[in-house]
Chain A
């Protein structure tokens, strides 16, 4: 635990990527393999199923600290991080633990799964008493998740690769799919020669950057393959050893959620991996994403939901053919093979290609996107390989302009992490007659300086407090951008928007000039209401 707490502090104490990678590599090289496996697991955001409720953890910390519950609440609002609040409040540390990380996890934490609350409390409190402040903090982080230490999966991959001088793509691939954090797994992960045998293992996804400059700067239109950009669940469909696996981009195995795709797998040749988008699909077009959410939430998929919301995979790419990794082959090769293996009239739809003669033509056709229920275009450079992670150059996404609405700031609450104690989470209203009806929440889009100004405004213009939430004088107007809009009986405004964010602070506008709910309703797609369960 000592080494892990030190690693956490070292990662936390630098904003420089190279220094973070060095700290990680140093750690991985000097700790036992089982410790390294657990540390990597947590740092890439995987963790054992939550063992303890935060509420209980707080209650025990409150009792151990001897402060009233309301004061814990005040402290949490100032710190903005649960694990940290507890570490700061516990009585001053008397000792420091030398027990290795994997022992803490496997011998002290995991057994709590089957323990009752009294035993859990006793074990937790005794753990806190054995640790110093840094260790308590790292320990609490392990329990609550949410590491927030500025380490992405790609940094961990770089650091793991550096331990034995492996290629990062190899490590990235070995970290995909289903594995357990054991010493054996770690040894295989860093091995210079490993039998990569797991039949379910997906490939790392290749992700596109948003187009940055003018479309003409990409060169000749003939050098690019253009496809519509679909909005569903990015996934890999794997067929190996007579079995089918569906992995989401979040590396969740979703095979049992999509029986249609499991059936589709059986129609594919042995040793096939397809990258695509899972979409709810009916009558040759996608259904609203909200319909997909109806399906995703269910444990049991009945015949009714399967017939109301069937899914397909719109296939973007072919990553494995007859058991061979074809990611380095040119795009045209992969596309041609994908078209060859696609079973006719199945749940696999090869992503349609748009063939414009000029960029102007493509720009005009982009206007069809909303009617086609897509987000815009994907641009893929002919001849390019299928790369790992988010990379500039070969794939670009060119989305349609977002919707935008001018709305009034009506509620604010403090953010978390680096935004703790600053009012950064806002609720916006639009006019419904002479009242402002809450319409969307947004957290992102402002500069640090603007955040400071809004924070000062909130403090000086609070009308009412509800716990951490402040109702403020309706005065500030912001232009909100969002990607999609739907009817929603669950929202007070009757409307739900997708990915709302602040595009601009409209200091030139008075609250009275903000948009009305009628203007926003006019943006709704035609057709009936979306049913909610």
Chain B
């Protein structure tokens, strides 16, 4: 089970283990990077720990942010059901509305919309007049399936950097949906099925919310269907879908659109659909090489993460003077922020050394 660290015992651990790469920090900061993840000693909790701990504050339910077996969780009300599905039905979860705060130890904690997926939050931590915000994953573009990102003023801002290079600049969402629809229409005309890969949790629902059910039949892979069910139960309107497994064996797939997780690509599961065209909805599709090495026909640039201009405007909007950069293109983002006169530094993620550039985005291995 998770360690029960007070700040002083952590200090001891740090002194004895200061050679390990996972533990480095300045002692008087509100947050520290430990072997379990980001830790707030004053409140004795972790934010998105990657190992089980006593108390975990969770930004959202993707598997790289929500690890099972912690003793107690704090999450948003809209994200509670998704989190429960991730960490197990028996977990102890305390749910907060957006903006509602609780006091843990000596610090005040509240959760604010991050715009990433349903229930995603930025964690605001206030202690002794100082405010830190851990943004988790976020995007600034509007998304009908979740609450829009809200800038939260703070002294220190912890940001992701998945797409932290200026080549990542998202086209307007409406353009991308127009491309998806005309691709679907062309396939329908050619008598092909349209196999659209999208991460099961979050992306698939955003796509469904943007498609027109009048365009044709939409089927789902089981992993996608599970997440859709939870979204619908939360009252989010999605285009109607049919689970592939419950469609009759005689189904004519030509002209249909099938939503599946990227891990289904080239799997035997794909064989039943006959002639098809494949597409992938992801920010990685901004680069041709990322699409071509997956042998996909089409890439649609739509991401639930901030693009470069989005990252920079979120950092600016936070008003923070100190920025910690995690998960993604950390080094270039930090270097750029430093050149803009900010106090920026990288912090470790649980990913060994650096981001997984093979393109595995959270949610790929959904149930």
Contacts and interface: CB of A to CB of B under 8 A. Distances in A.
Scoring B169, B288, B293 by chain A CB atoms within 10 A of each residue's CB, the highest score goes to B288
Given A13-B297, A14-B297, A452-B358, A417 B289 contact: yes
A14 B296 CA distance: 8
A462 B329 CA distance: 17
Interface string A388-429: 000000000000000000000000000011111110000000
Contacts of B290: 420-421
Interface stretch (A75-83, A257-265, A284-292): A75-83
B353 A460 contact: yes
A79 B291 CA distance: 11
Interface string B157-176: 00000000111010000000
Interface string A110-121: 000000000000
A67 B167 CA distance: 11
Contacts of A456: 358
A424 to B, nearest CB: 10
A81 B353 CA distance: 25
Contacts of A92: 169
A71 B332 contact: yes
B289 A89 contact: no
B130 interface: no
B166 A89 contact: yes
B353 A418 contact: no
B354 A459 contact: yes
Interface string A54-90: 0000000000010110110011001111001100110
Interface residues of B, number: 25
A103 to B, nearest CB: 26
Nearest to B296: A15
Size range of the interface on A? Answer: 20 to 34
B269 to A, nearest CB: 18
B352 A78 contact: no
Contacts of B295: 15
A12 B290 CA distance: 12
Contacts of A53: none
A422 B358 CA distance: 7
A418 B287 contact: no
B100 interface: no
A420 B354 contact: no
A81 B288 contact: yes
A106 to B, nearest CB: 28
Contact of B167 (A12, A88, A416): A88
Nearest to B287: A79
B166 A75 contact: yes
Contacts of A84: 287-288
A339 B152 CA distance: 87
A14 B299 CA distance: 11
Q: At the interface, is chain A mostly helix, strand, loop or mixed?
A: helix
A68 B353 CA distance: 25
Contacts of B329: 74, 78
Nearest to A66: B166
Contacts of B298: 13
A81 B297 contact: no
Contacts of B169: 88, 92
A448 interface: yes
A6 interface: no
A328 B288 CA distance: 43
A456 B360 CA distance: 12
B286 interface: yes
B295 to A, nearest CB: 6
Interface string B290-332: 1011010110000000000000000000000000000001011
A422 B288 contact: no
A455 interface: yes
A405 to B, nearest CB: 29
A420 B287 contact: yes
A79 B352 CA distance: 22
B293 A419 contact: yes
Given A15-B295, A88-B167, A422-B358, A74 B332 contact: yes
Contacts of B352: 459-460
Nearest to A74: B332
A78 B288 contact: no
B292 A418 contact: yes
Contacts of B165: 71, 74-75, 78
B339 interface: yes
A23 to B, nearest CB: 13
Scoring B165, B167, B292, B297 by chain A CB atoms within 10 A of each residue's CB, the highest score goes to B167
Contacts of A419: 289, 293
B357 interface: yes
A67 B166 contact: yes
B44 interface: no
Interface in B240-298: 286-290, 292-293, 295, 297-298
B174 to A, nearest CB: 15
Nearest to B277: A14
B42 interface: no
B366 to A, nearest CB: 20
Nearest to A15: B295
B25 interface: no
Interface string B321-362: 000000001011001100100000000000011100110000
Contacts of B354: 459
Interface string B43-76: 0000000000000000000000000000000000
A513 B362 CA distance: 39
A387 B295 CA distance: 32
A422 B293 contact: yes
B296 to A, nearest CB: 8
Contacts of A421: 287, 289-290, 357
Contact of B166 (A71, A81, A416, A420): A71
Contacts of B357: 78, 421-422, 455
A92 B354 CA distance: 29
A101 B331 CA distance: 40
Interface in A454-482: 455-456, 459-460, 462
Interface string A13-37: 1110000000000000000000000
Nearest to B163: A78
Nearest to A16: B297
Nearest to B355: A459
Contacts of B292: 12, 417-418
A459 B351 CA distance: 10
Given A417-B292, A448-B293, A459-B352, A65 B166 contact: yes
5 contacts: A13-B298, A417-B289, A418-B293, A421-B357, A455-B357
Interface of B: 165-167, 169, 286-290, 292-293, 295, 297-298, 329, 331-332, 335-336, 339, 352-354, 357-358
Closest 6 CB pairs of A and B: A420-B289, A88-B167, A418-B292, A418-B293, A421-B357, A74-B332
Given A421-B289, A448-B293, A462-B353, 9 more contacts: A15-B295, A15-B297, A78-B287, A79-B167, A81-B288, A417-B288, A417-B292, A418-B292, A421-B357
